[in-house]
Structure 1
């Protein structure tokens, strides 16, 4: 018995030593008993078939993951692998981003994740690239089970457009995901509805500041409104303030207090129509920025009293950039001879566009002056009247006799006036 098995062993030894052809090695391995054959195949490099079978198994697992993803289950596939696969192939994440995101979210089922993607893409109109960025930054969105109800609240109950909801989600994703639907969103909506009196006013206010829906209004808003009431602000003025400058009320309590003190110092009547705008503008500007704007006016020959007077008349004069104020003041001073006192009497001119309003109107009026049509020079009213009135009085009325006015005014938009 021993002699009969020696040739077989000798043949295998030759295969181990590299002697004989490939066919001989394959035949010898096939003739061996299963345990010995497996041992020899591993030593002689004959294990290619098992490796190939493993590769096929992995490929099958990947296909199974895709199928399971479509069915909404794992199908026996490792959740970590399923998560990465879904992030890459369904969400469009790059390999590195998918790996990072998979560390923060684990999908055992993709049913809800597919529904979330459909809402983001189909209902809100997010592009594939935007969805990928959102998921990469906040992968937990895929497991959120209230997103459909929240989107429905914003669209149907609150009245926002899909584009507005999309913008708010991208800006405040964390708060969108974690704010309770009934405990916070609908509760805030009821508070705002009672305060502002109409759904239209609520929508206007929320568009200005989404914080009105997310924040705890009993903490960040209602105490400030009561402080304003105690100062003498009427309900009508409060409504105007919340609908035009809500950020001044939900941000930085310290600036709110400074704003209220400034209104008292400036002598702004709390019941006046200008109060919500003056308070809103002041409270939104950091003190350092306010000081810089003031210094800019002083450098142009204004006095602090003139700045304060201009602010009370037109609060947005302090929202105009320093460069624009310098450009307009230099033009008004050099071309029209207007001094700070005159401009401070009607500071709305500082909010006008130099290219689209001030300069084109000046060109038209200068032509009319040269032709003797204007007798008393260019006044502030020429710049502040409505577009319709200016066209009627100074362009249309004279264009047949003085066609240059039409050409001069058409330059404001780069096209002919019709």
Structure 2
């Protein structure tokens, strides 16, 4: 009789076990004790059913179970964020969603408020899954868009470039104090926005440590406030990166004869301070190998610092073309170094072709001059293309389809 009643007893105890687990009517300690007692009677902890109850699914949505919580996270990463299975599994190791409510709100902000496409959302979440747990994202987006004045496209770029710093910087502890300080230093919101676009460190970093001491040193060296504003709005990275290069830059400006009060100082100092010494040395050596003297290199740098940002290969190709077609030597180029910074394909070559045709027809009698290549694009087109295209249609074809250089 006992053997015949066992299945009914087992069924009863299993129903009891499910009731204790699902209804939650007993205290936590009592529930655990009863569960243990019943499990021993029915033969261990084997699952009673392979089909989860609706209550169990709801429990997983709330993240109350470890394995269920992990499954919820992976499911959300795949289906709501667009991650591939392997990427979702890897990201789930770095974030555990106890609920999807806030994560859904974050994704909505990224897509709807910021206009981030699905592929970029997936890229951001894969790189920094903790973004899904952010409870300040909306307020920060509002700060960057409304108070600082970044566009949505600019903000998307900055967020993707450094999500960790973007999300960790506190609004009241770092962002607003930095914005206020920059307004005091730069005078206008336009200047602040221009500077921050060049270097987001101006918003993220502790400016009292990384910026203000350097500004004081520059003032002590005679740099005027006007020059400081220009330096901050054009080359702020020279002031927030690598303190040793900052000191070397001051020495170099003195050696090169760049006055701290001159309009060239912010550009010369900015270019030099942002360039590693090894790269600077390679650029100088390249010019010397092409027939320049070091004095000519220094003279060109003071006149147009950006000529030192052109790669060695481009300099060689441009100088070869200039020497063969125009006959200009390093002494000429060191006096007009801007030509080496111009796009060869979009500016120098199209203008040369037009001018060569006009010279062969006798329109230009004194040959191609430096001013032909350095004049503004609109002026060149009006004077040498539009003016002659009816009687010499070849000039329009030579000029070709192009964009502003």
After TM superposition, the score normalised by the length of structure 2 is: 0.85
CA contact (8 A) 1:360 1:411 kept: no
* Cα drift, residue 181 of structure 1: 0.8
Asked whether 1:141 is paired with 2:131, we answer yes
* Cα drift, residue 399 of structure 1: 2.1
Q: Which has the larger radius of gyration?
A: 1
Report Cα offsets for 1:38-61 as digits up to 9, x if no partner. Answer: 79xxxxxxxxxxx99722227x57
Task: Tell me the equivalent position of 1:247.
Answer: 237
Indicate which of 31, 48, 51 corresponds to 1:56: 51
Indicate which of 371, 396, 399 corresponds to 1:406: 396
1:288/1:38 CA distance change after superposition, 3 Å: same
Task: Tell me the equivalent position of 2:181.
Answer: 191
Indicate which of 296, 305, 312 corresponds to 1:315: 305
Tell me, in whole angstroms, the C-alpha distance in 1 between the residues paired with 2:327 and 2:276. 33
Unaligned runs of 5+ residues in structure 1 are 10-31, 40-50, 414-418
Tell me, in whole angstroms, the C-alpha distance in 1 between the residues paired with 2:71 and 2:394. 73
CA contact (8 A) 2:64 2:98 kept: no
Task: Tell me the equivalent position of 1:160.
Answer: 150
* Cα drift, residue 102 of structure 1: 2.8
* Cα drift, residue 191 of structure 1: 0.6
TM alignment of 1:16-31, pairs within 5 A? none
Asked whether 1:206 is paired with 2:196, we answer yes
CA contact (8 A) 1:64 1:75 kept: no
2:367 match: secondary structure: coil
2:52 match: secondary structure: helix
Asked whether 1:173 is paired with 2:167, we answer no
Tell me, in whole angstroms, the C-alpha distance in 2 between the residues paired with 1:331 and 1:353. 13
1:304/1:354 CA distance change after superposition, 3 Å: same
Indicate which of 288, 293, 303 corresponds to 1:298: 288
Equivalent residue pairs, number: 369
Tell me, in whole angstroms, the C-alpha distance in 2 between the residues paired with 1:260 and 1:110. 54
1:407/1:106 CA distance change after superposition, 3 Å: closer
CA contact (8 A) 1:188 1:213 kept: yes
* Cα drift, residue 391 of structure 1: 1.6
Asked whether 1:281 is paired with 2:271, we answer yes
* Cα drift, residue 76 of structure 1: 7.5
Indicate the larger mover: 162-171 or 261-270.
Answer: 162-171
Tell me, in whole angstroms, the C-alpha distance in 2 between the residues paired with 1:61 and 1:126. 35
1:109 match: secondary structure: coil
* Cα drift, residue 87 of structure 1: 2.6
Asked whether 1:86 is paired with 2:81, we answer no
Tell me, in whole angstroms, the C-alpha distance in 2 between the residues paired with 1:381 and 1:235. 33
* Cα drift, residue 412 of structure 1: 4.9
Indicate the larger mover: 351-360 or 306-315.
Answer: 351-360
Indicate the larger mover: 171-180 or 153-162.
Answer: 171-180
Unaligned runs of 5+ residues in structure 2 are 12-45
CA contact (8 A) 1:179 1:185 kept: yes
Task: Tell me the equivalent position of 1:98.
Answer: 88
Tell me, in whole angstroms, the C-alpha distance in 1 between the residues paired with 2:388 and 2:223. 49
* Cα drift, residue 81 of structure 1: 3.6
* Cα drift, residue 184 of structure 1: 0.5
1:326/1:275 CA distance change after superposition, 3 Å: same
1:297/1:35 CA distance change after superposition, 3 Å: same
CA contact (8 A) 2:186 2:229 kept: yes
After TM superposition, what 4+ stretches of structure 1 lie above 4 angstroms from structure 2?
A: 36-39, 60-63, 74-78
1:252/1:402 CA distance change after superposition, 3 Å: same
* Cα drift, residue 227 of structure 1: 0.8
Task: Tell me the equivalent position of 1:22.
Answer: none
**RMSD over aligned Cα atoms:** 2.5
* Cα drift, residue 376 of structure 1: 1.2
Task: Tell me the equivalent position of 1:35.
Answer: 7
* Cα drift, residue 109 of structure 1: 2.5
CA contact (8 A) 2:307 2:338 kept: yes
CA contact (8 A) 2:268 2:302 kept: yes
1:389/1:132 CA distance change after superposition, 3 Å: closer
After TM superposition, the score normalised by the length of structure 1 is: 0.82
Tell me, in whole angstroms, the C-alpha distance in 2 between the residues paired with 1:363 and 1:96. 55
* Cα drift, residue 63 of structure 1: 4.9
Indicate the larger mover: 94-103 or 302-311.
Answer: 94-103
2:50 match: secondary structure: helix
CA contact (8 A) 1:307 1:344 kept: yes
CA contact (8 A) 1:245 1:280 kept: yes
